[in-house]
């Protein structure tokens, strides 16, 4: 199956899942429509469009999952590091978590030398803390909150 | 009070030192984010929303609007000098702007782009002044049925004017509307699609979704491309165009102003559409169309004027009807809502000082932008000397900080990353993202209007064509829908413009 067709199928499935869910919400009456009416209409429309796209989309070539995983190395690394950053953000505080995040992005993703990565990390972390935390007064977690 | 008295009062507020400072900050930040590919006005505005918490609402909206129209100015600089559009609206400027740079006329192209942007921006502010109060008065007569029908027109337009296929755009709209139903139902207090997760009870935030789709998604896509830029830095004395270039640009600037303003009234990619439309019009009416694409000043003047004038058109619908026509405007709407102000038909009558101060500040901002963008062009170009591998971690961090600081919620960061991944995948599959994020923010109003209209009519669907206004909007929506379906069924001709 091509990636275009797979995406159309996913849209159809999301529509069907939403349809099943919204059918459980109160529908009300025509005089007083309930919270289920609008999501129900939308999910039917989404499923129909999913089918239409499935028919219309021809797509180019089959999906090769192994190739996708191999070729998108940088994308995977960024996603993994960002997820780790989000998990650590409030627990470790802004300075520690962003320093680790930036260092790994520079060193592991961008393959810069360790010294350059450390220098850039220090400048950006402290600079952004000063700009956003001190000058703009944004509330950033101070950490550490390990539990 | 007439328009001029109101404007006078607006200038009294906009010309205070504090508000000029906020306007300057917004314009400077806007120009910078406009220059840098990957950080558009959306991220630029979202990032500064938390900084406005301690400000009065007038200063806040003046600064955020400055970022919005400032980004349009900044976008042209890199298009002309480096063939890189800082903003999607400046894509078309690359065609002739970069060719002019190659011919040694970069300074003239930059000057005409700035001059055209100023004229377009200023004329469009006059358009807002004249049209917004009238439209707001008209909208006061809107009931829920009229509002529903109008939003329906907006959604069909979003689908048909998108950059991708009509079916795909419609799928994105429906998906956005569906995501917009998550959380507490305002009319009954019932929870929908929350699965017991408390963070979902307020719904899925617009800012994390928009920042994720346009910020993180863009970064993930850009890491797959290797860009090598050539830098050209014009000197100040090279900036003046010759008499012939100046004369040739006058017509495109005036036409671009009108075209851009009215294109700005359309929801979706109005800025992109306006600049492309202007380019096509200028090429069609030119006596030497073959010169377009080879460094023709009309190809810079028209589109650059049009995309700035579109900013004014977009502000009309936003301020008078409360309908954001693009993701960046929608973020501004969030900022106003945070400050307790709801744009819409009552906005101008209830907040006249705020409305007219904003209008006056846009005149001031346009002058600041010309003053900023011409002498400081070298500084802005130098921003692009920063290699992408340094820039993208900074952009990622900025997206995280901007999202977190709005609601101090880790859940929003998860939504941000999820939206980023989804945006990346959808981009790869050639789905248009703007319809999804706009549907997410307008969706709740559409649903409320639909249900309130049915309640008012006692369950009769005839209310949706019961008044002349609702009937006109419904007819227009139906016409646009059938036209779009018919157009999408036509076989693609081999000749592409």
Contact present, B322 and B333 (Cβ < 8 Å): yes
Please say if the pLDDT value at position B25 is more than 70: yes
Whole domain around residue B321: which residue ranges? Answer: 3-228+239-488
Asked whether the beta carbons of residue B410 and residue A21 sit closer than 8 angstroms, the reply is: no
What's the gap in Å between the CA of B77 and the closest CA on chain A?
Answer: 26
Does A138 touch chain B if contact means CB atoms closer than 8 Å?
yes
The beta-carbon neighbor of B174 closest among A25, A46, A90 is: A46
Segment B128-140 shows an average pLDDT of 83
The pLDDT score that the predictor gives to residue A73 is: 81
Distant-in-sequence, close-in-space partners of B478: CB < 8 Å, separation ≥ 6: none
Q: Which residues of B touch A89 (CB under 8 A)?
A: 400, 404, 410, 413
**Touching B: A residues 34-53, CB under 8 Å:** 34-39, 42-43, 45-46, 49-50, 52-53
Q: Average pLDDT of chain B?
A: 84
The pLDDT score that the predictor gives to residue B496 is: 43
How sure is the predictor about B232, in pLDDT bands with cuts at 50, 70 and 90?
A: low
Please say if the pLDDT value at position B205 is more than 90: no
Structural tokens at position B58 = 């007038």
Q: Give CA–CA dist B43/B41, Å, rounded.
A: 6
pLDDT tens digits, one per residue of B82-118: 776 666 677 788 888 888 888 888 888 888 888 888 8
Q: Give CA–CA dist B238/B236, Å, rounded.
A: 5
How sure is the predictor about B494, in pLDDT bands with cuts at 50, 70 and 90?
A: very low
The pLDDT score that the predictor gives to residue A88 is: 93
Render B150-179 in DSSP notation, one character per residue. Answer: HHHHHHHHHHHSSSS-HHHHHHHHHHHHHH
Of all residues in chain B, the one with the smallest CA distance to A94 is B401
Domain membership of residue B273 (yes or no) is yes
Domain membership of residue B496 (yes or no) is no
Q: Which residues of B touch A49 (CB under 8 A)?
A: 167, 170-171, 174
Asked whether the beta carbons of residue A120 and residue B390 sit closer than 8 angstroms, the reply is: yes
Domain membership of residue B354 (yes or no) is yes
Secondary structure class of B260 (helix, strand, coil): helix
How sure is the predictor about B231, in pLDDT bands with cuts at 50, 70 and 90?
A: low
Does A14 touch chain B if contact means CB atoms closer than 8 Å?
yes
Please say if the pLDDT value at position B259 is more than 50: yes
Contact present, A144 and A92 (Cβ < 8 Å): yes
Other C-beta atoms lying within 10 Å of the C-beta of residue B243: 8
Please say if the pLDDT value at position B139 is more than 50: yes
The beta-carbon neighbor of A53 closest among B54, B168, B450 is: B168
The pLDDT score that the predictor gives to residue B495 is: 42
The pLDDT score that the predictor gives to residue A95 is: 93
Stretch among B71-85, B254-268, B437-451, B478-492 having the lowest mean pLDDT: B71-85
- Helix B166-180 and helix B144-160, axial crossing angle in degrees, nearest 10: 140
Secondary structure class of A33 (helix, strand, coil): strand
Please say if the pLDDT value at position B435 is more than 80: yes
Of all residues in chain B, the one with the smallest CA distance to A5 is B429
Pairing state of beta strands B191-192 and B183-184?
Answer: antiparallel
The beta-carbon neighbor of B223 closest among A53, A74, A139 is: A74
Q: Average pLDDT of chain A?
A: 87
Rounded (5°) CA angle B417-B423-B427: 150
Q: Chain A to chain B, count of Cβ pairs less than 8 Å apart?
A: 142
The pLDDT score that the predictor gives to residue B351 is: 86
Of all residues in chain B, the one with the smallest CA distance to A56 is B167
Contact present, B127 and B259 (Cβ < 8 Å): no
Domain membership of residue B234 (yes or no) is no
Q: What are the residue boundaries of the structural domains of chain A, listed by start?
A: 3-63, 69-135
Asked whether the beta carbons of residue B167 and residue A49 sit closer than 8 angstroms, the reply is: yes
What dihedral angle (degrees, nearest 10) is formed by the CA atoms of B260, B263, B267, B268?
-70
Please say if the pLDDT value at position B44 is more than 60: yes
Does A84 touch chain B if contact means CB atoms closer than 8 Å?
no
What's the gap in Å between the CA of B316 and the closest CA on chain A?
Answer: 29
Domain membership of residue B280 (yes or no) is yes
**Touching A: B residues 366-425, CB under 8 Å:** 389-390, 392-394, 396-398, 400-401, 404-405, 408, 410, 413-414, 417, 420-421, 424-425
Domain membership of residue B493 (yes or no) is no
Q: Which residues of B touch A46 (CB under 8 A)?
A: 171, 174-175, 178
Render B87-127 in DSSP notation, one character per residue. Answer: SGGGHHHHHHHHHHHHTT-HHHHHHHHHHHHHHHHHHHHHH
The pLDDT score that the predictor gives to residue B451 is: 93
Segment B364-391 shows an average pLDDT of 78
Please say if the pLDDT value at position B9 is more than 50: yes
Upper half-sphere CA count for residue B456 (Cβ side, 13 Å): 14
ipTM: 0.92
What's the gap in Å between the CA of A28 and the closest CA on chain B?
Answer: 10
Stretch among A143-147, B67-71, B189-193, B378-382 having the lowest mean pLDDT: A143-147
pLDDT tens digits, one per residue of A70-127: 667 888 899 999 999 999 999 999 999 999 999 999 999 888 899 999 999 999 999 9
Per cent of chain B over pLDDT 70 is 91
Of all residues in chain A, the one with the smallest CA distance to B180 is A39
Please say if the pLDDT value at position A63 is more than 70: no
What's the gap in Å between the CA of A66 and the closest CA on chain B?
Answer: 16
Render B192-216 in DSSP notation, one character per residue. Answer: ES-TT-GGGTT---HHHHHHIIIII
**Touching A: B residues 302-331, CB under 8 Å:** none
In chain B, the number of structural domains is 1
How sure is the predictor about A65, in pLDDT bands with cuts at 50, 70 and 90?
A: low
Contact present, B164 and B430 (Cβ < 8 Å): yes
Structural tokens at position B57 = 């609402």
The beta-carbon neighbor of A139 closest among B171, B405, B431 is: B405
Please say if the pLDDT value at position B134 is more than 60: yes
Domain membership of residue B482 (yes or no) is yes
Contact present, B182 and B194 (Cβ < 8 Å): yes
Segment B164-186 shows an average pLDDT of 90
Asked whether the beta carbons of residue A31 and residue B393 sit closer than 8 angstroms, the reply is: no
Segment B404-408 shows an average pLDDT of 84
Asked whether the beta carbons of residue B181 and residue A75 sit closer than 8 angstroms, the reply is: no
Stretch among B134-148, B381-395, B449-463 having the lowest mean pLDDT: B381-395
Please say if the pLDDT value at position A56 is more than 90: no
**Touching B: A residues 109-128, CB under 8 Å:** 109-110, 112, 120, 124, 128
Please say if the pLDDT value at position A146 is more than 60: no
Q: Give CA–CA dist B372/B202, Å, rounded.
A: 41
């Amino acid at each position: 199956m091509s990636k275009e067709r797979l995406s159309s199928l996913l849209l159809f499935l999301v529509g069907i899942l939403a349809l099943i869910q919204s059918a459980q919400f109160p529908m009300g009456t025509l005089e007083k429509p309930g919270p289920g009416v609008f999501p129900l209409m939308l999910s039917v429309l989404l499923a129909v469009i999913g089918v239409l796209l499935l028919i219309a989309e021809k797509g180019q070539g089959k999906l090769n999952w192994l190739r996708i995983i191999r070729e998108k190395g940088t994308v995977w690394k960024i996603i993994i590091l960002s997820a780790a950053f989000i998990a650590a953000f409030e627990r470790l505080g802004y300075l520690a978590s962003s320093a680790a995040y930036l260092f790994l992005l520079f060193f592991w993703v961008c393959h810069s030398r360790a010294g350059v990565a450390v220098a850039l990390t220090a400048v950006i972390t402290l600079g952004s803390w000063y700009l956003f935390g001190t000058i703009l007064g944004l509330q950033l977690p101070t950490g550490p909150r390990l539990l | 009070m007439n328009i001029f008295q109101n404007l006078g009062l607006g200038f009294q507020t906009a010309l205070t030192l504090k508000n000029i400072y906020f306007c300057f900050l917004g314009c400077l930040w806007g120009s910078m984010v406009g220059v840098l590919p990957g950080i558009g006005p959306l991220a630029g505005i979202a990032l500064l929303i938390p900084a406005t918490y301690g400000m009065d609402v007038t200063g806040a909206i003046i600064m955020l609007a400055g970022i919005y129209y400032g980004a349009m100015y900044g976008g042209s600089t890199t298009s002309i000098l480096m063939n890189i559009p800082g903003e999607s609206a400046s894509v078309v400027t690359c065609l002739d702007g970069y060719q002019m740079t190659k011919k040694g006329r970069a300074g003239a192209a930059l000057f005409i782009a700035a001059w055209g942007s100023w004229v377009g921006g200023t004329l469009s502010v006059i358009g807002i002044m004249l049209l917004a109060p009238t439209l707001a008065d008209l909208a006061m007569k809107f009931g829920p049925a009229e509002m529903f029908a109008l939003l329906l027109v907006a959604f069909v337009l979003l689908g048909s004017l998108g950059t991708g296929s009509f079916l795909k755009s419609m799928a994105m709209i429906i998906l956005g509307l569906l995501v917009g139903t998550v959380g507490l139902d305002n009319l009954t207090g019932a929870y929908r699609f929350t699965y017991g997760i408390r963070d979902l009870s307020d719904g899925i935030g617009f800012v994390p979704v928009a920042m994720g789709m346009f910020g993180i998604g863009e970064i993930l896509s850009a890491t797959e491309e290797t860009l090598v830029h050539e830098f050209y830095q014009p000197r100040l004395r090279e900036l003046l165009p010759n008499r012939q270039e100046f004369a040739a640009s006058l017509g495109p600037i005036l036409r671009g102003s009108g075209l851009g303003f009215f294109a700005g009234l359309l929801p979706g990619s109005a800025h992109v559409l306006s600049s492309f439309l202007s380019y096509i019009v200028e090429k069609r009416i030119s006596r030497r169309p073959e010169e377009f694409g080879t460094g023709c000043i009309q190809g810079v003047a028209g589109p650059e004027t049009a995309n700035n004038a579109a900013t004014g058109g977009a502000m009309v619908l936003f301020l008078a009807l409360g309908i954001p026509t693009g993701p960046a405007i929608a973020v501004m709407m969030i900022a106003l809502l945070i400050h307790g102000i709801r744009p819409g038909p009552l906005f101008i009558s209830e907040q006249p000082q705020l409305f007219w101060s904003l209008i006056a500040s846009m005149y001031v901002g346009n002058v600041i932008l010309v003053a900023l963008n011409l002498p400081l062009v070298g500084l802005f170009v130098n921003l692009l000397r920063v290699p992408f591998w340094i820039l993208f971690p900074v952009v990622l961090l900025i997206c995280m900080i901007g999202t977190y600081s709005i609601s101090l919620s880790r859940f929003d960061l998860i939504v941000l990353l999820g939206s980023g991944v989804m945006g990346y995948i959808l981009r790869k599959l050639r789905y248009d993202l703007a319809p999804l994020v706009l549907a997410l923010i307008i969706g709740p109003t559409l649903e409320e209007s639909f249900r309130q209209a049915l309640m008012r009519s006692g369950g009769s669907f005839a209310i949706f064509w019961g008044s002349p206004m609702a009937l006109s909007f419904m007819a227009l929506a139906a016409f646009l829908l059938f036209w779009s379906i018919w157009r999408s069924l036509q076989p693609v001709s081999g000749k592409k413009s």
